[in-house]
Amino acid sequence: MSVDVASSRPGRAEAFTGRTAWARNLGAPVRDFLNTETGSAISLLAATIAALVWANSPWSDSYQSFWNTKLSIQIGGGGIATDLRHWVNEGLMTFFFLVIGLEAKRELDVGQLRERRRIAVPLFAAI
């Protein structure tokens, strides 16, 4: 005869997930806040301030060491190895401009810029 211990004690199955009730209840509001434009902007601003403080603090050597960390991708006999700064500058910035280009195309096709007379101000600002 076998007894399912988790089902015999209600509320005990959650104890094995490693998350407390406080963490479960905090997750949804934080996630909802970060999904808003304001929440995203605040988290980006906080990360920027933290990076500036770290780079200009007595621990700036660890900041430089972080950016000089080598990161490599090997596939078979070939691969690429460069520092983290280069990956961000080249790889992530390329992805960023791809997303910006797709967003601009969407605005021109179905957004507010589909009327050609509205293009002047954003075009001037982009230049």
Task: Give the tens place of pLDDT for each residue, 77-113.
Answer: 899 999 999 999 998 899 999 999 999 899 889 988 8
**Based on the domain organization, do 24 and 12 belong to the same domain?**
yes
Whether the per-residue pLDDT at 15 is higher than 90: the answer is no
Whether the per-residue pLDDT at 14 is higher than 80: the answer is no
> Which of 19, 34, 67 is the last residue in one of the domains?
67
Residues 109 and 104: their CA atoms lie apart, in Å, by 9
**CB burial string 29-64: b at 16+ within 10 A, e below:** eeeeeeeeeeeeeeeeeeeeeeeeeeeeeeeeeebe
**Based on the domain organization, do 75 and 62 belong to the same domain?**
no
* Angle ∠(35,63,56) on CA atoms, nearest 5: 95
**Based on the domain organization, do 11 and 56 belong to the same domain?**
yes
Whether the per-residue pLDDT at 33 is higher than 70: the answer is yes
Average pLDDT over residues 35-55: 93
Give pLDDT, residue 17: 65
Residue 83 near residue 71 (C-beta atoms within 8 A): yes
**Based on the domain organization, do 49 and 108 belong to the same domain?**
no
The runs of H, that is alpha helices, within 1-127 are 5-8, 21-34, 37-55, 60-67, 84-86, 93-110, 120-126
Average pLDDT value over all residues in the chain: 84
Residues 69 and 84: their CA atoms lie apart, in Å, by 6
Residue 107 near residue 113 (C-beta atoms within 8 A): yes
**Based on the domain organization, do 85 and 119 belong to the same domain?**
yes
Structural domain count of the chain: 2
**Based on the domain organization, do 12 and 59 belong to the same domain?**
yes
User: Which residue range is the domain that position 106 belongs to?
Assistant: 70-127
Average pLDDT over residues 24-46: 86
Residues 23 and 17: their CA atoms lie apart, in Å, by 11
